[in-house]
A and B are shown apart, each in its own frame.
Chain A
Amino acid sequence: MVTWADGNVPRVRIVVCVKHVPDIQSERALGPDGRVVRDGGDGTINELDENAVEAALALVEASDGSVVALTVGPADAADAVRRGLQLGADEAVHVVDDAIAGSDVIGTARVLAAAVRHLDAQEHVDLVITGMAGLDGLTSLLPTALAELLDLPALPLAAELTVEGSTVRVRRNLDHASEVLEATLPALVSVTDQANEPRYPNFKGIMAARKKPITTLTLADLEVDASRVGALGARTEVLEAAARPPRDNRVLVQDTGDAGIRLAAYLVDNQLV
């Protein structure tokens, strides 16, 4: 649920961060360098970032604000911001640079932070919205790290998001508690899949997106020191990566009246319970 309270609706500019990831329905793999294998063409926008785009669009619909879709990634990551445009974003920015390859989360956050600052210098940014996690790495670290780098208040994991005047309020469900957080704009919010139901792009949106340019930026454009991102700047290094072997000795029984008893025996005999 994303709502502007009635009345005082300012013009807001929202940057929404979208990530290009391997399709989670596909066979995913890590290469010998420990990096996600990105060829095969079955990349897609991180599903959870559609919730972020939806949240941004719903907020600006109530005003005459604008939404910028932003991604950092290799050439085909442009698909993620294109999807953002099709859904209704007004602008798209793709940061692409060979030196970014191998970045850890903090490296990616540095590049995104520089891009948000770049956009903010052009026209004030009120809100940055991200997904709750990348379904490839599932670190969930990026949103808070980005807020810290941008020196913005962070309201992560919004299941509900409201903006009233310049106050942003978020309800979130944690492992053991639920919380309501509040801050004054500008701020950063990450949204969960509970926040809304993402729309699908319609024909009009797809046609309109063709006319909207995607701005491509490099590290030099953003004045980011290349040694602080990419594999050079990473503080973790993948040593080994291997596909897990399938489970062996698997048993499948068809119930003919005693499957519950056989299940109980399996658990007890194997000392599982």
Chain B
Amino acid sequence: MTAPVLVLVDHTEGGAVRAPVRELLTLARGLAGDAGVHAAWAVDGVEPSAEVVAELGALGATHVHRVVADADLHLSAVLAEALASLLDATGAGLLLLVSSFENKEAAARLAVSTGAGVVTDADGLALVDGRYVASKTVFAGTWTTTCAVTAPLAIVALKPNSVQPSPAEGAPAPQIGEHVVAVSDKSRRVTLVERTERPASGRPDLGSASIVVAGGRGTEGDFSVVEELADVLGGAVGATRVATDEGWIGHDAQIGQTGVTIAPRVYIGVGVSGAVHHRGGMQASGTIVAINSDPDAPIFEIADFGVVGDLFTVVPQAAAEIRRLKG
């Protein structure tokens, strides 16, 4: 028993597919079998280009739906209505989303309106005896759980860096369709007065980067050492709440329970103590490296490689050496 899978395609204002969507499509392909993978593109001012459609197809999308609504699809109520009608139209048994705050809002609404079972922040998903079974870590990454969806419809929000994306072999070009939604009055009660998308930093996106270098209070506001190491590694720059509260770097760089949750292949904490709120957002990382002058800093309890030392000498030395080794 396999059902079609619907995948929401997160994209930038410029019309580029966000990296974690590749993971969703790779996963969806395996779960849908011959039933088909439907990619939903919210036309919120930007159309999917021919290259985008080809990219989605190469990853296994059999259908690409241009979702057009007579209200702003950035509003979760509007998006949820559109997705509910697309779930109906495609007969999908599973909706896959990137686990972001916005998508979780749509998921919460859909859970109420469709009766779906929802798992957020999942890091894996399989079909076991006809049920979707998701895995996720809880309690600041200290516990792993698996969770079955018992309702007929499943909604799973997947954390970035959970699946190795890969192209589908011999995938035919997807069918393109238009899905027009007339939004109810009820979903128009919130007005989006203003929306400002942050410009791309030139570095990888924090939420989906495979290497993240995070700076804390120990940097005393000098993020240049953090940035230098990130750049030599091709990684993203993150921070603790202390660093963002101090204004050393934007709030969008905050890693932790009230910031971004990340699980990169490598996390490097620079002058970060490893408070439980911060750990909640990074403890599921593949390899954890920490540089801290205090041998008793809690981050060393979870670090695979820890250096007790002054970040202002250790980090530039490491960056120079990596540059040398990589030639």
Contact stretch, chosen from B25-33, B57-65, B111-119, B171-179: B111-119
A242 CA to B144 CA, complexed, in Å: 6
Count of chain A residues near B, Cβ 8 A: 82
Q: Mark A147-162, 1 if CB is under 8 A from B, else 0.
A: 0110101111101000
A20 to chain B, nearest CB (A): 16
> Which residues 204-257 of A sit at the B interface, judged by CB distance below 8 A?
234-244, 247, 249-255
Is A235 a contact of B320 with CB atoms below 8 Å? no
Taking a contact as CB atoms closer than 8 A, the residue among B195, B233, B258, B319 that contacts A133 in the complex is B258
- Asked whether, in the complex, the Cβ of A181 is within 8 Å of the Cβ of B193, the reply is yes
B130 smallest CB distance to A (angstroms)? 14
Which of B77, B105, B137, B191 neighbours the largest number of chain A CB atoms within 10 Å of its CB?
B105
Is the CB–CB distance between B147 and A239 below 8 Å? yes
Query: In the docked arrangement, what's the CA distance between A25 and B142, Å?
Result: 12
List B residues 227-241 near A (Cβ within 8 Å).
233, 241
Among B76, B112, B314, the residue within 8 A (CB) of A106 is: B112
Which residues in window 251-272 of A have CB below 8 A to B? 251-255, 258-268, 270, 272
How far, in Å, is B316 (CB) from chain A's closest CB? 7
Q: Which residues of chain A are near B49, meaning CB under 8 Å? A: none
Beyond A263-B314, A272-B266, whether A182 also contacts B193 by CB under 8 A is yes
**Does B318 contact A263, Cβ atoms closer than 8 Å?**
yes
> Which residue of chain B has its CB nearest to the CB of A240?
B146
Name B289's contact: one of A137, A153, A267 (CB within 8 Å).
A267
Q: Which residues of A contact B186 (CB under 8 A)?
A: 151
Contacts of B34 in A (CB 8 A): none
A268 touches B325 (CB 8 A): yes
Taking the complex as formed, is A15 at the interface, i.e. its CB lies under 8 A from any CB of chain B? no
Task: Give chain B residues whose Cβ lies under 8 Å from the Cβ of A265.
Answer: 321, 325
Within the complex, the shortest CB–CB distance from B206 to chain A, in Å, comes to: 8
B109 and A260 contact, CB distance less than 8 A? no
Interface status of B164 (Cβ within 8 A of chain A): no
A194 to B314: give the CA distance in the assembly, Å: 33
Chain A contacts with B in 3-58, Cβ cutoff 8 A = 24-25, 28-30, 34, 48
Q: A55 CB to closest chain B CB, in angstroms?
A: 15
Assess whether B104 is interfacial by the CB under 8 Å rule: yes
User: Please, which residues of chain A bring their CB within 8 A of the CB of B320?
Assistant: 260
CB distance from A38 to the nearest CB of B (A): 13
A residues in contact with B211, CB < 8 Å: 272-273
Question: Is the CB–CB distance between A28 and B142 below 8 Å?
Answer: yes
Is A141 an interface residue when CB atoms closer than 8 A count as contact? Answer: yes
Question: Which of A133, A235, A253 is close to B151, meaning CB atoms less than 8 Å apart?
Answer: A235
Nearest CB on A from B315, distance (A): 7
CB distance from A217 to the nearest CB of B (A): 22
Whether the Cβ atoms of A236 and B150 lie closer than 8 Å is: yes
Stretch at the interface among A63-71, A78-86, A93-101, A172-180: A172-180
- Binding-face segment, B35-43, B88-96, B301-309: B301-309
Q: Say yes or no: A250-B307 contact (C-beta < 8 A), given A236-B118, A241-B143.
A: no
Chief secondary structure at chain A's binding surface: mixed
Which of B193, B295, B319 interacts with A169 by CB under 8 Å? B193
Asked if residues A144 and B76 are in contact (CB atoms below 8 Å), the reply is yes
Distance between Cα atoms of A192 and B291 in the complex (Å): 30
Q: Contact at A109–B144, with CB atoms within 8 Å?
A: no
A-B interface pairs (CB < 8 A), number: 261
Which residues of B (251-295) have their CB < 8 Å from a CB of A? Answer: 251-252, 257-258, 260, 265-266, 276-277, 280, 287-289, 291, 295
Q: Is A105 an interface residue (CB 8 A)?
A: yes
Measured CB to CB, the closest approach of chain B to A53, in angstroms, equals 16
A235-B150, A235-B151 known; A260+B315 contact, CB < 8 A = yes
Q: Which of A132, A144, A270 contacts B109 (CB 8 A)?
A: A144
| Closest partner residue, chain B, to A183 (CB atom) | B190
Is A202 in the interface zone, CB < 8 Å from B? no
| Assembly CA distance A179 to B101 (angstroms) | 13
| A154 adjacent to B105 (CB under 8 Å) | yes
Does B165 interact with chain A (Cβ within 8 Å)?
no
Interface code B310-327, partner A: CB below 8 Å = 1, 0 otherwise? 100111111111100110
Q: Interface code B129-172, partner A: CB below 8 Å = 1, 0 otherwise? A: 00001000111111111111111000000000000000000000
Contacts of A258 in B (CB 8 A): 317
> Shortest CB–CB separation between residue B151 and chain A, in angstroms?
4
> By the criterion CB–CB under 8 Å, are A173 and B147 in contact?
no
Which chain A positions have C-beta within 8 A of B192? 179-181
Nearest CB of A to B324, in Å: 8
User: Are B306 and A182 in contact, with the CB atoms below 8 A?
Assistant: no
Residue of B nearest to A159 (CB): B251
Residues of B within 8 A of A182 (CB): 190-191, 193
Q: How far is the CA of A184 from the CA of B309 in the complex (A)?
A: 54
Q: Once bound together, how far apart are the Cα atoms of A272 and B242, in whole Å?
A: 28
A30 to B189, CA, bound (A): 40
Q: Which of A109, A144, A177 contacts B196 (CB 8 A)?
A: A177
Contact (Cβ within 8 A) A145 B150: no
Asked whether, in the complex, the Cβ of A236 is within 8 Å of the Cβ of B141, the reply is no
Closest CB of chain A to B15's CB: distance in Å?
14
Q: Of all chain A residues, which has the CB nearest B260?
A: A175
Ordered by A's residue number, 7 sampled pairs between the chains whose C-beta atoms are within 8 Å are A48-B258, A148-B108, A155-B190, A178-B196, A192-B258, A236-B150, A244-B142
Q: A181-B193, A235-B111, A244-B142 are in contact. List 4 more A-B contacts (CB 8 A).
A: A182-B190, A239-B146, A259-B317, A261-B321
